[in-house]
Amino acid sequence: MVSLSELCAVLGPHLVPVSGHSLRGRQLTGVHVSELEDPTPYLDGGELLLTTGMPLGGSPATTARYVERLRAKGLHALGIGLGPWLAEVPDYLSQACDEAGIHLLAVPDGVPFQNVSRAFWSLSARSGQAELLGSLGTQTSLAQAAMRPDGAAAVVRGLAQALGGWAVFLPSGTEPARYWPESTGALLEPLREETIRLNRAGTHSAATFELHGQPVVEYPIAVNGRIHGFLAVGPGRKLAAPDRQVIMTVCTLLALKARQREAASGAAAVLQSAVAKLILHGLTEAARILAEDAGHSELPRRVRVLALSAPGGHAAEQLVRAALSLEPAPGVEPLPAQSTSCTLRHERDRVLYVLVPDNGQEAWAAAESVPLPAEVPELSGAVSEPVTLGEVPGVLPGLRRALGQAAAGALAGTAGPAHPAAQAWAAALAEYPRTDLAGTVREYLRHRGHWENASRALGVHRNSLRHRIGLATALLGVDLDDPDVSAPLWLELRQRER
């Protein structure tokens, strides 16, 4: 844009401030010529208005009303062409402009108004070209920044610096927010709340809202119809066309980074699904070998199995994010935000299974939800108690039953009600003095009565195991192979093991 001081400097004696009026660096939106008593319908605000003085009416009262109309419209400057109507600028006009905060200038007799207009548009063209070149340079720098390992953070920082304000990128998953400057961190929580509101309202185009009295513009970052996050900008000035071009460039770069992550994670997701499938079928050792060969990190020792109904048309990541909004049943802890980053997922029979690492009850309960939970109204889920990888197949039948009974929008658990008889049996086994009957029976039930596997796990001979199981059977007076006995006893012993 062109400032009033720049225009005066170019025109020299052809446009001069009236005595007593100093120039400030006000930016002009245009130059307008009018002899109407009320030119405001044809003004946008911010212009330099040129007139011969005819509309002033020749009196202080009419002049004051004229200047007040200009002030109300937001005019920046008034230029009086001296000559036929006014030989000099009246004092009452100077006073009225002072009170209205409007710059008052004089165009000497014989200087056409067209000279002023031409000078303005010439400066404006040069300014626009400079802004365009500056914008292109900024966009090039941002594109180079996007290639860095911390590309998203570098792009956000570059955008904020280019606009003289702040910028925040809120990913839809569990990735941390990127923002600049550092003080913008205080705005993250209200920004998340507003973003969730817009997301739930289906506002998937640019939106403007106020935050702490300041305007904020927010743009969705979408790839193939999926929202990967939102870019929020608090500009330090009124946005011009080059500024908007820079913002759209940043949106494109962030979408490109999201597409690259999708492509990179596609092959990994196939391998992780295969690993999860092996675990679900009880082939834990094969799963470990496949994970190691694929170069993935060590598998978790204990997991909770999350089962989600898988309505068509929804990606696995979207279902897991939507699961964070499920209402937990009494006694069931809410899902942790880390669930969305769990890659051990496998879908079969229209059920998505997710193996969520168990980091202890406190870590699970203290987990926070992600900023942008997805919306899948018909979704329901069920989550198991913590189990080892080898125990995963054993919890699937109960998990499927719980999922089948869960209402839409609910998260069910698999822990059944307390079983007094099982509690008494477990206590009796734990109190047996001569050998560890509780541990023996637990391993026996864990391996579903398979003598060879149970004895190997205990590190004892099969005959020793048979002897101990005989002692336990006699002590309890029950048949450990009876499902009505083994099921509740197994749950109780496993609970005590933790």
| Residue 267 placed within a domain | no
Q: Which of residues 415 and 333 earns the better pLDDT score?
A: 333
Q: Does the structure show a pLDDT above 70 at 266?
A: no
Is the Cβ–Cβ distance between 32 and 48 less than 8 Å?
A: yes
Q: Domain range for residue 247?
A: 147-260
Confidence of residue 108 (pLDDT cuts 50, 70, 90): very high
Confidence of residue 104 (pLDDT cuts 50, 70, 90): very high
Q: Highest mean pLDDT range out of 193-207, 256-270, 303-317?
A: 303-317
- The percentage of the chain sitting over the pLDDT mark of 90, rounded to a whole number, equals 21
213/163 same-domain check: yes
In whole angstroms, what is the distance from residue 102 CA to residue 17 CA? 11
Q: Which of residues 317 and 411 earns the better pLDDT score?
A: 411
Say what the pLDDT of residue 62 is. 94
Query: pTM (2 decimals)?
Result: 0.43
Q: Does the structure show a pLDDT above 70 at 362?
A: no
Say what the pLDDT of residue 369 is. 40
Confidence of residue 365 (pLDDT cuts 50, 70, 90): very low
Q: Which of residues 423 and 417 earns the better pLDDT score?
A: 423
Say what the pLDDT of residue 323 is. 87
367/456 same-domain check: no
> What mean pLDDT comes out for the span 39-66?
90
436/471 same-domain check: yes
HEC profile of the chain: CEEHHHHHHHHHHHCEECCCCCCCCCEECCEEECCCCCCHHHCCCCCEEEECCHHHCCCHHHHHHHHHHHHHHCCCEEEEECCCCCCCCCHHHHHHHHHHCCEEEEECCCCCHHHHHHHHHHHHHHHHHHHHHHHHHHHHHHHHHHCCCCHHHHHHHHHHHHHCCEEEEEECCCCCCEEECHHHHHHHHHHHHHHHHHHHCCCCCCEEEEECCEEEEEEEEEECCEEEEEEEEECCCCCCHHHHHHHHHHHHHHHHHHHHHHHHHHHHHHHHHHHHHHHHCCCHHHHHHHHHHCCCCCCCCEEEEEEEECCCCCCHHHHHHHHCCCEECCCCCCCCHHHHHCCCEEEECCEEEEEEECCCHHHHHCCCCCCCCCCCCCCCEEECCCEEHHHHHHHHHHHHHHHHHCCCCEEEECCCCCCHHHHHHHHHHHHCCCCCHHHHHHHHHHCCCCHHHHHHHHCCCHHHHHHHHHHHHHHHCCCCCCHHHHHHHHHHHHHHHC
248/311 same-domain check: no
| Residue 127 placed within a domain | no
407/434 same-domain check: no
Confidence of residue 132 (pLDDT cuts 50, 70, 90): very low
| Residue 135 placed within a domain | no
73/112 same-domain check: yes
- What average pLDDT is seen over the chain? 82
Say what the pLDDT of residue 370 is. 44
Domain boundary among 203, 237, 260: 260
Q: Does the structure show a pLDDT above 60 at 373?
A: no
102/32 same-domain check: yes
CATH (domain of 173): 3.30.450.40
Confidence of residue 1 (pLDDT cuts 50, 70, 90): low
Say what the pLDDT of residue 174 is. 63
482/430 same-domain check: yes
| pLDDT tens-place string over residues 440-474 | 999 998 888 889 988 998 899 989 999 999 999 99
Q: How many domains does the chain have?
A: 4
> What mean pLDDT comes out for the span 92-107?
92
Q: Does the structure show a pLDDT above 60 at 171?
A: yes
Q: Does the structure show a pLDDT above 50 at 371?
A: no
237/339 same-domain check: no
| Residue 140 placed within a domain | no
Say what the pLDDT of residue 192 is. 87
394/430 same-domain check: no
Say what the pLDDT of residue 106 is. 93
Domain boundary among 371, 391, 413: 413
Q: Does the structure show a pLDDT above 70 at 128?
A: no
| Residue 491 placed within a domain | yes
Say what the pLDDT of residue 488 is. 81
Is the Cβ–Cβ distance between 102 and 29 less than 8 Å?
A: no
| Residue 158 placed within a domain | yes
Domain boundary among 260, 275, 308: 260
Say what the pLDDT of residue 67 is. 95
In whole angstroms, what is the distance from residue 259 CA to residue 310 CA? 24
| Residue 281 placed within a domain | no
Say what the pLDDT of residue 199 is. 66
Say what the pLDDT of residue 84 is. 79
304/404 same-domain check: yes
Q: Does the structure show a pLDDT above 80 at 126?
A: no
Say what the pLDDT of residue 135 is. 44
> What mean pLDDT comes out for the span 98-117?
90
Q: Does the structure show a pLDDT above 60 at 254?
A: yes
CATH (domain of 79): 3.40.1390.20
317/255 same-domain check: no
| Residue 159 placed within a domain | yes
> What mean pLDDT comes out for the span 55-70?
92
For residue 171, the one-letter residue type is P
Q: Is 212 left (phi over 0), alpha (psi -120 to 50) or beta?
A: left
